Amino acid sequence: MGKLITRRRFLIGTAVVGGGLAVGYALKEDPPANEALSNTAKDGEFALNAYVKIDQSGQVTIAIPHSEMGQGIMTSLSMLVAEELEVDFADVKAEHAPVSPVYANFTALMDSLPFSDGHHRGEDTVGAWGMKNLGNLLGLQATGGSTSVRNSWEPMQYAGAAAREMLINAAASQWNVPDNECKAKKGQVLHEKTGKSAGFGDLVKLASLQEIQGNISLKSESQRSTIGKSQPRLDIPSKVNGTATFGVDVELPGMVYAAVKLSPVFGGTVASMDEKAIANMPGVRKVVSIETGVVVIADSFWRAKKAAEALPVTFDEGEAATVSTESIFKQYEEALKSDEGRSYTEEGDVQLKFADAGNLIDARYKAPFLAHACMEPMNCTALYQDNSIEVWSPNQSPTLSAWFAEKIADVPSENVTVHTTMLGGGFGRRIEIDYLVMAVQAAKAIPGTPVKLIWTRENDIQHDMYRPAAMGDFTATLNAEGMISAWHTRLASPSITRNFVERLLPWAGADTPDNTAAEGAADLPYAFENKLVEHIPSPTPIPVGYWRSVGHSYTGFFTECFMDELAVAAKKDPIDFRLAHLKDHKDFTDVLLKLKEISNWDSPLAKGKGRGIALHESFGSIAAQVVELSVSDDKSVKLDKIYCVIDCGTVVNPDTVIAQMESGIIYGLTAAAFGEITIENGRVQQSNFPDYEMLTMAMTPEIVVELAPSGRPMGGVGEPGTPPIAPALANALYDATGERIRELPIRKSGFEITA
């Protein structure tokens, strides 16, 4: 595997800084001069851009273009560079990359917009090609959609390989020997004929002057020693010893603190307030009016919080004050009755088949609004001074953070600095910029003083961008052989992408197809001769956003529960029924068969116990899960064991994949068991963990994860573990009790998960 890399293409702005080397690779054919990594070089480092820095002691530091929010991306991406650079993985360090277009995440754009089918056809569509080029044009640096490794897989390997070749060239020229007689190994360059060797640190200055000629080849799979083998997480030691810096850990000299008081109704604005009422409270520095509420600045967060709570504010609640959960679901019901809707999949003639069928099977499913509930509430620190703005933020898009910091502070783009900290959870919430905008507004009110703005948990739960509530009507018919001959899905929910875009660019919210609205329902792997999948956009005043696994989080529940209902109607085993509809998909079949084996699916269960299966593809990966549980007469549920099989294509760090499956399962179980945001009079009724519950460790069963790569293209792993768990749980409850769950959370049907 080789790629021609010219000096112009590879050395993006040659620079020597301090005493180290930074090496980078850009996919762009003609990239702009970019010295972003050079600007991060410390004493003892040379910089050459964009992914690798090596100082004269030989320390290798890898710039990670994606946000570390617990998914282990600093480790996985560092492995890509270390593999090709020929350095021991234990000897590398990782840091968040600066903001730069060279780190653009074009894979996320290709996957999320309606013009591509990146998971199944790669770039083999005009739309996918267009979205890739748009991504390069925008230079949008972002983390989401389980795209980090897929997006950086090639450039970071080539970065390591190119750095290796530059170091080899430097050694060869110093020793006056041919390049091809030298090799890199464990942070050194060796010349076996003469026995000479030199460490990377000794060669770095000369290496920074080398030109890359000809092709650079990557290792074959059989030659790899790092990729594909579990490596220790680079971020764990600092998280254990307390030295990791999350957004809430940022401390700056002279820093003050800010708390917010926001409109209790979505879309509400401040009608009046009485600043004098808190003017004499201890430590209060300033009150700043913002679009949706008020920011109170004080010399400690506690004082800011108490003053914000005491501040008398009257809000103009607006039109959303009459909205409730009940009214929203009635709206969805009316939408599903209408003739409107956008077809996402249409094969054969469903209605004609239904007209000829003697027996139709139908079901309606419902899923609630859900909050992200990141363990670290929203926060941001900002410093406005000298016509510049500097922010420290746990974010999923430093590019968006920079754009909006520039806009709100009204400073030149070159005077904007964004520091991405560790994220105490993201799940799609930190792609939003509302909390950053508030921090910049507060900092602008006190020039020269850094302001740390922190949301309370109540702010966080009641002012989220929620996973949308959704409703789905499903109808199918079976033929004489018990096979599905026609399948019809109608979904009603708001458009996440349109909602998100309108928040960023109010003028740009066009009525275009939104893959997230029907993903996981429109692209089922099961073969039906007649299939129709429609979505009816049904906007509400409740802001919705990207939540871990996005549309898959509810379509997975809908489709896999309905498949179970059809298996029962056909009087077939749920796994065998699925296999019968997967004859053209060996990868899906292999996953199911492996799951059947490891879960002892065919073994008998005692009375009161049940097993449930679910299979779902998302973000380019296939995940299947079995839940095994026990149910008491009072509907108390004990989760006994969960089995998961994942095919995500090439595996970089097996330990991370397993951890992400466990994480996604627990996140999805929490939502399936307890998760529900309810609205009354335009207000969120939940406020903190006592009424927005989390799954506890005592409730969590043993989780067995098996990796089953089939050779399919690389998929993501951050989200695919979440969609199958709710239907597997619901199907297991049916197996144990004979009661169907068609609405989440399961406690709405009286079931309670217990320790």
Reduced 3-state DSSP string for 410-453? CCCHHHEEEEECECCCCCCHHHCCHHHHHHHHHHHHCCCCCEEE
CATH of domain 247-318+378-454: 3.30.365.10
**Fold: same for 2-105+140-241 and 247-318+378-454:** yes
Q: Which long-range contacts (CB under 8 A, 24 or more apart) does 8-12 make?
A: 10/162, 10/212, 11/48, 11/49, 11/211, 11/212, 12/49, 12/50, 12/102
| Residue that the structure tokens 């799954």 belong to | 695
Cβ-contact 648, 717 below 8 angstroms: yes
CATH classification (class only), 325-369+466-753: alpha beta
Phi, psi of 388 (to 5 degrees): -140, 160
Residue 364 identity: R
The SS3 assignment for 727 reads: helix
Lookup result for tokens 């979904």: 491
The C-alpha angle with vertex 465 and arms to 463 and 469, in degrees rounded to 5, equals: 110
How far is Cα 401 from Cα 418, in angstroms, rounded to an integer? 7
Check: CB of residue 269 under 8 Å from CB of residue 319: no
Question: Under DSSP, is residue 630 helix (H, G, I), strand (E, B) or coil?
Answer: strand
Residue type, 591: V
Task: Report the C-alpha gap between 226 and 228 in whole angstroms.
Answer: 6
Q: Tokens for 136?
A: 């390069």
CB–CB of 122/712 below 8 Å?
A: no
Measured distance CA(141)–CA(7) in Å, rounded? 24
Burial 418-437 (b: 16+ CB within 10 A, else e): bbbbbbbbbbbbbbbbbbbb
Tell me the fold of 2-105+140-241: Aldehyde Oxidoreductase; domain 4 (3.30.365)
Model-level pTM? 0.94
Instruction: List 470's β-bridge partners, or say none.
Output: 367
- Give one word for 410, left, alpha or beta, with left for phi > 0 and alpha for psi -120 to 50: left
Between CA 319 and CA 325, with CA 321 as vertex, the angle to 5 degrees is 115
281 in the Ramachandran plot: left (φ > 0), alpha (ψ -120 to 50) or beta?
beta
700-751 pLDDT, tens digit each: 999 999 999 999 999 999 999 999 999 999 999 999 999 999 999 999 999 9
In whole angstroms, give the CA distance from residue 475 to residue 688: 38
For 184, list phi and psi in degrees, rounded to 5: -100, 140
The token pair that represents 352 in the structure block = 């004609």
* pLDDT of 16: 34
Residue 340: per-residue pLDDT: 86
Residue 2's pLDDT is: 40
| pLDDT-flagged residues of the chain (< 70) | 1-34, 47-49, 112-137, 507-512
Q: What residue ranges do the domains of the chain occupy?
A: 2-105+140-241, 247-318+378-454, 325-369+466-753
Give the span between the Cα atoms of 218 and 207, in whole angstroms.
Answer: 20
Q: In this structure, are residues 743 and 683 in contact, taking their beta carbons and an 8 Å threshold?
A: no
| Secondary structure in 3-state letters for 143-180 | CCCCCHHHHHHHHHHHHHHHHHHHHHHHHHHHHCCCHH
